[in-house]
Structure 1
Amino acid sequence: MRVSADGSHLVTGAGLPFFYLADTAWELLHRCDEAESRMYLKDRAAKGINVIQTVILAELEGLTVPSANGHLPLRNLDPARPNEEYFQHVDAVVRLADSLGLYLGLLPTWGDKFNKKWGVGPEVFTPENARTFGRFLGERYRNNNVIWILGGDRIPEEPEDFAIVRAMAAGLRAAVDRRQLITYHPQGGYKSSDYFPNDDWLDFHMFQSGHGGSGNKLDYKFPPEVLAEAPGKPVINGEPCYEDHPINWRPVNGWFTDFDTRRAAYWSVLAGTAGHTFGNHSIWQMWQPGRAPISSARTDWRTALRYPGVRQMGYLRRLMEGLPFWELSPDADLFTAIPNSSGRETLVVRTQDTGLVIAYTPYGDRLEIRRDRLPGKVICSWFDPRSGNSIPFKAAQTEDMLLFDPPFEPAPGNDWVLVVRAEDR
């Protein structure tokens, strides 16, 4: 895997554009045995996911409570002394992901192990053992389908935090060279470019729009900011709102639905990201009855596998891979008076010659464009992000305008993707 020559997207070793589509399973390596891991990975691969984001030194007492196989990851809480028995299970999951054509977005550690701030900890890293641990991981998994993700829901605050992150990256690089990509997953409301805009070890940037509210503007505001701060490196939303997560962490506010996760995804991707990360609140923590729920998790993770959001992410990937997504650029002024507030913001992208135009309307609002803004005759379709189906249609016309009216009346969740292409394209 590498970054494209123009810095806009990721590319496989075979030179093919790679649309990053991740599912979030932070506790997979800690809380699931091999049979459960196999069931989970096969389910996600079948639904179109191609990256699984998970953590080696997990958040939820990952250093002090044994894994599902009965092992702790470190001896005496020392990153320079990894426990071989624990890592044999990690090996098995990595091999299984490889066999399914999945990449593991591997976090060496959750952020509380170097900057506790909140959570369980304990802080166990120094720059010296972080480099050692990074090199150990790189040497062990350098020949597997792995993308390295540092950070773990934390921002570096003290000089030592920066030194630990950079030392771990240096250890990884010493082992993998440029064979594998490295990025950074910050806490909610932040971007990796806030802290590492020019670091050579970081191949692409991540931001976290987070779980603070429905219709989070950070989903579409952060991508152009990152691309301006750190040109030449792609960007991914590494943690948007999770399906079945309480809005702003409080059940009284309601729960994020598959519509919320769809809107976050299309907003992020059409704002300029090179892919997207999905998450379900019960699955990231592998919650089941008998385990303490984090932030009011309420659904057995095996049941949550059947929730609709992840399959709809697969439709997004299929749509984008059927298009030259790396050639699309945002153009908020292409359509006339598109909605731009209150959760119904419509995002528009196009190729340089406007031979292909994509627009996402979260509420199914009617869209209008001046006829002279499009080249020649066009073919139009509505892509349904709930079902993955496309509906060809002929746009209504006035003397100067083309009108695009989605099915049904405008309402939250009646979201549609407009695809307009030149007839000869």
Structure 2
Amino acid sequence: MVNTFKAPIPSLNMRLIILLLVLSFYQLSATSQTLKVSANKRYLVDAKGKPFFWMGDTAWELFHKLSDAEADHYLETRAKQGFTIIQAVIISEDSGLTKPDVYGHLPFTSLSPLKPNNAFFKHIDHVINKAASLGLHMAMLPTWADKVPSNRISKDSVIFNESNASAYGEFLARRYAKKPIIWVLGGDRAINDATTYNIWKAMAAGLKKGDNRQLITYHPAGESSSSRWFQNDKWIDFNTYQSGHAHHFMPVYKFAQADYKKKPVKPFLDAEPAYEDIPVEFWAFMKLDQQQSVPTAILTKDNLLADKSHFKKGFFTDYDVRVHAYWNLLSGACGYTYGHNAVWQMFKKGGSFVIPTLTDWNEALNSPGARQIKNLNKLFANRFYNLIPDTELLKGKNAADSTYIAAASNSKHTLAIVYMALGQSTVIDLKQLKSSLKAYWYDPRLGKKSYINTFKHASLQRFTPPTAGPGNDWVLLLESKL
């Protein structure tokens, strides 16, 4: 028997109602992904006002070097590891104007920001939508800063001026309106004159014109903060600094302490600390102004680094990542950005590099530092927004070197977190805190918490971590019994 039943066709009014409901749901869903600055101006929140923990990964070459499928794998991996922010550049530092993406597309026709290439941006559309589906926010640089006048060498032409920067910013913001995006101007550059300042200001104005709900910040050169130039500008919603790759135990807390005191108050974070597996002070052992920046003899046939001794100051490890993360977060930062030398470049075996790598990008996704991000999340994601830097808890000298101890407490003084980078013994003034406190050791390598004891608040108490020395960092967690 033939089934001749046909579903009734909705009336025109019903179809309009369904369409409006779908559009309303889409708008609500998109708007709910837009981040804002908290009422106290110290951190970021989602549309519902819930504190948002910035746990970033540096993926500068994501759009330039990876295919859709490769980008999907990268994003899925990072989402599972607990990252919330992906930092990527639309017009790459690595000859982004003249070297096509994996599909053979360039960003502009005739190198003109007024003539964006739709085929190029379709790949970026895919990556942004995939990230959004995984609950990730993209922190996107419209261009690396070498396309704007600066005092540093570039593989590309300077193509931006005030007029086309504004138009390009508006194009981007309109194309990606309501998407979970934070715009990051700059790209490893200082502001040297009024011309450069005005170009970035114009690009920010274009972004705000296109969609004034998306947050904007600026990524500066090493060992500096965006607050140096833009603290009083209304377009910049929060500051980032780059503590950089110069040496171990970089005093990142000094950047945080400086930005914490700035007025008007703005959230801030370290958007480029030392990357895992990057050579310490790499530029001292490379000829960055030459096509062949390192001797071919130190490389494998796949262009991987074979002779690590060429970089005489060694390499940053997961230990450096932890030290800088905890020092930053306990000094008032609203989040932290991780980076890996192979991942930021999306280096593929046999391909080109900016800085020699020890592995390819895919293998590096599961490096020790990346795996330990979940431990950072476990401790800070539900606590960071209540923390206030509080080194007054410490008794005795706190030197600005590898022995520095970072400490923070909450506003009610019922919680304190203290980080010992070398597992050093320290005395805590419990009188600064309220009520009896349960004390725990937290292992940042394994994410495990072990109970120490319960202490009365009106006392001085020495705490000695289970192990000590380089690589034996520990977190002391003090929580009220109430």
Q: Counterparts of 1:347 and 1:340 in 2: how far apart (Å)?
A: 11
1:242 pairs with 2:275: yes
Indicate the residue corresponding to 1:167 in structure 2.
Answer: 202
Indicate the residue corresponding to 1:333 in structure 2.
Answer: 392
Deviations, residues 251-302 of structure 1 (Å, cap 9, x unaligned): 2110000000110111111111000111001110011222232222231111
Answer yes or no: is the 8 Å Cα contact 2:436–2:454 preserved in 1. no
1:222 pairs with 2:255: yes
Deviations, residues 123-152 of structure 1 (Å, cap 9, x unaligned): 000100000000000000012110100011
1:300 pairs with 2:335: no
- Quickly say closer, same or farther: Cα 1:239–1:230, change in 2 above 3 A: farther
Q: CA deviation at 1:390?
A: 1.1
Deviations, residues 35-59 of structure 1 (Å, cap 9, x unaligned): 1000000000000000000000110
Deviations, residues 90-138 of structure 1 (Å, cap 9, x unaligned): 1000100010000000100000000352231210001000000000000
User: 3-state SS of the aligned residue for 2:57?
Assistant: strand
Q: Counterparts of 1:163 and 1:322 in 2: how far apart (Å)?
A: 39
With 360-369 and 196-205 compared, the bigger mean Cα shift is at 360-369
Indicate the residue corresponding to 2:472 in structure 1.
Answer: 414
Q: Counterparts of 1:374 and 1:357 in 2: how far apart (Å)?
A: 8
Gaps of 5+ in 1: none
Q: CA deviation at 1:327?
A: 2.2
Within the candidate set 441, 444, 448, 1:385 is matched to 444
1:355 pairs with 2:414: yes
Larger radius of gyration: 2
Within the candidate set 197, 214, 236, 1:180 is matched to 214
With 347-356 and 396-405 compared, the bigger mean Cα shift is at 396-405
Within the candidate set 148, 154, 159, 1:124 is matched to 159
Q: CA deviation at 1:396?
A: 8.1
Q: For residues 2-401 of structure 1, what are the structure 2 equivalents within 5 Å?
A: 2-116=36-150, 117-177=152-212, 179-217=213-251, 219-249=252-282, 250=285, 251-323=311-383, 325-337=384-396, 339-394=398-453, 400-401=459-460
Answer yes or no: is the 8 Å Cα contact 1:48–1:311 preserved in 2. no
**1:259 corresponds to which letter in structure 2?**
Y
User: 3-state SS of the aligned residue for 1:49?
Assistant: coil
Q: Counterparts of 2:216 and 2:400 in 1: how far apart (Å)?
A: 35
Q: Counterparts of 2:117 and 2:244 in 1: how far apart (Å)?
A: 33
**1:421 corresponds to which letter in structure 2?**
E
Q: CA deviation at 1:397?
A: 9.2
Answer yes or no: is the 8 Å Cα contact 2:173–2:211 preserved in 1. yes
Q: Counterparts of 1:315 and 1:79 in 2: how far apart (Å)?
A: 42
Answer yes or no: is the 8 Å Cα contact 1:115–1:154 preserved in 2. no
TM-score (norm 2): 0.85
RMSD, aligned CA = 1.6
Deviations, residues 140-176 of structure 1 (Å, cap 9, x unaligned): 0012110100011111212211111000000000011
Answer yes or no: is the 8 Å Cα contact 2:442–2:476 preserved in 1. yes
Answer yes or no: is the 8 Å Cα contact 2:232–2:264 preserved in 1. no
Q: Counterparts of 1:123 and 1:10 in 2: how far apart (Å)?
A: 33
With 364-373 and 377-386 compared, the bigger mean Cα shift is at 364-373
Answer yes or no: is the 8 Å Cα contact 1:24–1:53 preserved in 2. yes
User: 3-state SS of the aligned residue for 2:391?
Assistant: coil
Q: Counterparts of 1:335 and 1:311 in 2: how far apart (Å)?
A: 31
User: 3-state SS of the aligned residue for 2:356?
Assistant: coil
- Quickly say closer, same or farther: Cα 1:383–1:231, change in 2 above 3 A: farther
User: 3-state SS of the aligned residue for 1:74?
Assistant: coil
Gaps of 5+ in 2: 1-34, 286-310
- Quickly say closer, same or farther: Cα 1:370–1:5, change in 2 above 3 A: closer
Number of residue pairs the alignment of both structures matches? 420
TM-score (norm 1): 0.96
Q: Counterparts of 1:229 and 1:276 in 2: how far apart (Å)?
A: 19
Q: CA deviation at 1:344?
A: 2.3
- Quickly say closer, same or farther: Cα 1:272–1:371, change in 2 above 3 A: closer
User: 3-state SS of the aligned residue for 1:165?
Assistant: helix
- Quickly say closer, same or farther: Cα 1:396–1:364, change in 2 above 3 A: farther
